[in-house]
Amino acid sequence: MTIAAPAVPTPRIREPNWFLDFCRQQPLGAVSFVIICCMMFAGIFSRLVAPYDPLDIDFASILGAPSWEHPCGTDAYGRDICSRLIFGSRTALVIGFTSSFIGSTLGAVLGVASAYFGGRIDNWIQRFMDILLAFPLIVLALVVVAALRKFVIGGVDVNLIFAIAIPILPRVARVVRAAALSVRVMPYVDAARAAGYSDTRIIFRHMAPNVVAPYLIMLTAFIAQAILAEASLSFLGLGVTEPTAAWGLMLSGNAADFYREAPWMILFPGAAISLAVFAFNLFGDSLRDYLDPRFRM
Amino acid sequence: MLRYTINRVLLMIPTLLGVAVLVFFMLRVVPGDVVEIKLRGDGGNVSQETIELERKRMGLDKPFVSQFGDWMIGMATLDLGKSMWTERPVIEEISLRLELSLQVAIMATIIAVLIAIPLGTAAALFRDTWIDYVVRIVTIGGLSIPSFWFGMLIMLTLLGLFNWLPPITFTPIYVDPVANLTQLIWPAMAVGYRYCAVVSRMIRSSLLEVMNEDYIRTARAKGVYEKVVISRHALRNALLPAITVIGLEFTFLIGGLVVTEQVFNLNGIGQLFVQSVSRNDFTLIQGMVMLIAAFYVFVNLIIDLLYAVFDPRIRYE
């Protein structure tokens, strides 16, 4: 007697598509992702996208109102504001991303190490973080700027990157440490230690991968903060220096003298900062909701 | 409770000492100081001897450790030294401007809290409806729009609507309240937006958490009016975490003011800070950093103590 095996259609297991899944669950996050992509495109291909050279001074069209030739108008030197905005996105992204990356990564390593070693080392690291946390972000950034003075390598303001990265460090370290404390008591960490692995190996290979979610969330959230800090410092005249195109810088100096004559000099750069920070904030928010629904507000 | 308080106050000392060490040595690691900016800043040709002489006069030629010792001894007797630029006492420079900044900060707090409580509550009660989404976008906007640009927008609006700009000279509130308020309400609004956003987000999330508590269900089961459940039972408990945020944001306002004062041309703490940073005025930077850090540590202490007062379940041993 033979029984024909029922033809079970083998279910095609679809690879979960992270990206589509994220877009479906977090529509606002998807929108912000599109904005970020546009910004990156503008930042990377500035030369191709921008209609003019951002440094081209044209005394024939000083303080020109927005028109077909100059969609965002021109500034007090006749430079095209739209092109300066496009090149400014490069400055904002480079400084925002590198400083957030440096600050978050160092903070994450310190946080995991602090949780792993515990005891006295943990205590000392935490006290040190407390000291750094006693400063508002922008105040600590200003102190670092004062300490490092001007320090430029290859056209990038290294002092500015560190000024923004250092205040980010303790804030990330604290969150990552909290996450790492719960990883530390996992059996596989004990197993790794019993196997005789080195501390460095356990920290980087066993614990760090398990705190990637809070790390990524903090990283994107702090890109927003870093862009804001860069704009603030440049606005104060202590960040990026002329003639480099940077959004904060475009608002500083004599821009305020032209409230009456040229409000577009103020409207567009500020809108660019706000949009960029808004996109990264929203993206960070959505990423948090997606990666860790427990934190959902 | 008393013991806890004393312990906490004693714990403030190592933190502040750490801040002092950090700031002092950070400022001096890289060469360059106020003397160079003062004498050579305008491109003038000043000999090296003159610079050394001036350094000697200011005590900048002494070893770092002895400079630090002098500063510490001064601080113990509440003397923060003299500004290296104006040569006036640091305390005098700060107190001249503290009144203005403090008033803006207090006004911003009042505006922010008054708006944040209804906003956060509405977002929590109408969770995942259009009201919640609007509040979410408005509050993320508050976190994203730089306060200095918001200040500039306020100026532009005032100029466009009334062809008027706020006065730049500061009048204390007890001299002429109207003149005082017409000047300071705008910067308070500019920094208040972010503040309000942070607080209302906190209220929303903590209210959502509280609404799941057993005692809310009990109150509802007893037939208490929903309005009373929210105002008496839920909101009161939800405000506790909000107090933390309000306190912390208040100290962080000083950071926000650093930039916003520039926009409104206010001669406050923030303006002074930026000036002293660009002039390498070490003593003034140190003094202000100590002030801000002390303020932060103190506010933290107050928050912890308030927790014990408002929430009887929390008892510190």
If you measure CA to CA, which chain B residue comes closest to A27?
A: B133
Q: Express each pLDDT in A240-249 by its tens digit.
A: 877 778 888 8
What is the mean predicted confidence (pLDDT) over B265-284?
A: 85
Contact (CB<8Å) A297/B201: yes
Contact (CB<8Å) A134/B141: no
Over 80: is that where the pLDDT of B143 sits?
Answer: yes
Between B180 and B45, the higher pLDDT residue? B180
State how far the Cα of A202 lies from the Cα of A116, in Å rounded to an integer: 9
Q: Express each pLDDT in B284-301 by its tens digit.
A: 888 888 888 888 888 888
Structure-token pair, residue A75: 């500034």
Q: What confidence score (pLDDT) does residue B179 get?
A: 79
| Residue ranges making up the domain that contains A78 | 24-46+71-292
- DSSP helix/strand/coil, B127: coil
Residue B196 pLDDT class (50, 70, 90 cuts): very high
Over 60: is that where the pLDDT of B276 sits?
Answer: yes
Mutate to test the interface with B, among A32, A132, A137, A142 (most CBs of B within 10 A): A142
Asked if the structure places residue A230 within a domain, the reply is: yes
Q: What confidence score (pLDDT) does residue A296 get?
A: 43
Q: What confidence score (pLDDT) does residue B40 get?
A: 67
State how far the Cα of B81 lies from the Cα of B71, in Å rounded to an integer: 7
Chain B residues with CB under 8 Å of A142 CB are 258, 273-274, 277
CATH of residue A240: 1.10.3720.10
Query: In chain B, which among 272-311 make CB contacts under 8 A with chain A?
Result: 273-274, 277-278, 280, 285, 289, 292-293, 296-297
Asked if the structure places residue A7 within a domain, the reply is: no
Over 80: is that where the pLDDT of B37 sits?
Answer: no
Residue B21, number of CB atoms within 10 A of its CB: 13
Contact (CB<8Å) A146/B149: no
Cβ distance A158 to B37 under 8 Å? Answer: no
For chain B, give the percent of residues with pLDDT over 70.
Answer: 96
State how far the Cα of B305 lies from the Cα of B299, in Å rounded to an integer: 10
Contact (CB<8Å) B26/A278: no
Taking the domain B91-310, which CATH number applies?
Answer: 1.10.3720.10
Q: What confidence score (pLDDT) does residue A103 get?
A: 94
What is the mean predicted confidence (pLDDT) over A56-64?
A: 70
State how far the Cα of A70 lies from the Cα of A87, in Å rounded to an integer: 15
Chain A residues with CB under 8 Å of B238 CB are none
Over 80: is that where the pLDDT of B255 sits?
Answer: no
Asked if the structure places residue A55 within a domain, the reply is: no
A10-19 long-range contacts, CB within 8 A, separation 24+? none
Structure-token pair, residue B18: 């750490």
Chain A residues with CB under 8 Å of B274 CB are 142, 236, 238
Between B317 and A125, the higher pLDDT residue? A125
Asked if the structure places residue A118 within a domain, the reply is: yes
What is the mean predicted confidence (pLDDT) over A227-237?
A: 88
Q: Which residues contact B82 (CB under 8 A, 6 or more apart)?
A: B88, B89, B90, B283
Q: What confidence score (pLDDT) does residue A5 get?
A: 58
Between chain A and chain B, the number of residue pairs with CB atoms below 8 A apart is 135
Please identify which residue in the block is written with the tokens 């420079």: B93
State how far the Cα of A272 lies from the Cα of A251, in Å rounded to an integer: 11
State how far the Cα of B113 lies from the Cα of A200, in Å rounded to an integer: 47
Residue A6 pLDDT class (50, 70, 90 cuts): low
**Minimal CA separation from B50 to chain A, in Å:** 23
Closest by CA position to A164, among listed A222, A120, A243: A222
Break chain B down into helix, strand, coil percent, rounded to 5.
80, 0, 20
Contact (CB<8Å) B252/A136: yes
What is the mean predicted confidence (pLDDT) over A181-206?
A: 87
Chain B residues with CB under 8 Å of A146 CB are 27, 277, 280, 285
Chain A residues with CB under 8 Å of B22 CB are 131-132
Picking from A135, A138, A149, the nearest residue to B293 by CB comes out as A135
Using the Cβ of B30 and the Cβ atoms of chain A, whether some distance falls under 8 Å is answered with yes
Q: What confidence score (pLDDT) does residue B305 get?
A: 81
Over 50: is that where the pLDDT of B103 sits?
Answer: yes
Residue A254 pLDDT class (50, 70, 90 cuts): low
Q: What confidence score (pLDDT) does residue A107 get?
A: 93
For chain A, give the percent of residues with pLDDT over 70.
Answer: 86
Contact (CB<8Å) B18/A127: yes
Structural domain spans, chain B: 16-76, 91-310
Domains in chain A, number: 1
Q: What confidence score (pLDDT) does residue A132 get?
A: 87
Per the prediction, chain B carries an average pLDDT of: 83
Contact (CB<8Å) B258/A228: no
What is the mean predicted confidence (pLDDT) over B192-209?
A: 89
Over 70: is that where the pLDDT of A3 sits?
Answer: no
Range from B21-35, B133-147, B298-312 that averages highest in pLDDT = B133-147
Contact (CB<8Å) B277/A143: yes
What is the mean predicted confidence (pLDDT) over B17-22?
A: 88
What is the mean predicted confidence (pLDDT) over A56-73?
A: 72
Over 90: is that where the pLDDT of B178 sits?
Answer: no
Asked if the structure places residue A1 within a domain, the reply is: no
Q: Which residues contact A136 (CB under 8 A, 6 or more apart)?
A: B251, B252, B254, B255, B256, B292, B296
Asked if the structure places residue A12 within a domain, the reply is: no
What is the mean predicted confidence (pLDDT) over A145-154?
A: 73
Q: Express each pLDDT in B67-101 by its tens digit.
A: 888 888 888 887 777 777 777 888 888 888 888 88
If you measure CA to CA, which chain B residue comes closest to A237?
A: B278
Cβ distance B307 to B240 under 8 Å? Answer: yes
Q: What confidence score (pLDDT) does residue A2 get?
A: 54
Using the Cβ of B122 and the Cβ atoms of chain A, whether some distance falls under 8 Å is answered with no
Show the 3-state SS of A106-127: HHHHHHHHHHHHCHHHHHHHHH
Asked if the structure places residue A64 within a domain, the reply is: no
Using the Cβ of B258 and the Cβ atoms of chain A, whether some distance falls under 8 Å is answered with yes
What is the mean predicted confidence (pLDDT) over B11-28?
A: 86
What is the mean predicted confidence (pLDDT) over B192-218?
A: 88
Picking from B15, B156, B289, the nearest residue to A263 by CB comes out as B156
Cβ distance A226 to A96 under 8 Å? Answer: yes
Q: What confidence score (pLDDT) does residue A223 get?
A: 92
Count, in order, helices (H) and strands (E) of chain A: 12, 2
Q: What confidence score (pLDDT) does residue B42 get?
A: 63
- DSSP helix/strand/coil, A88: helix
Cβ distance A207 to A180 under 8 Å? Answer: yes
Picking from B146, B165, B255, the nearest residue to A270 by CB comes out as B146
Q: What confidence score (pLDDT) does residue A294 get?
A: 54
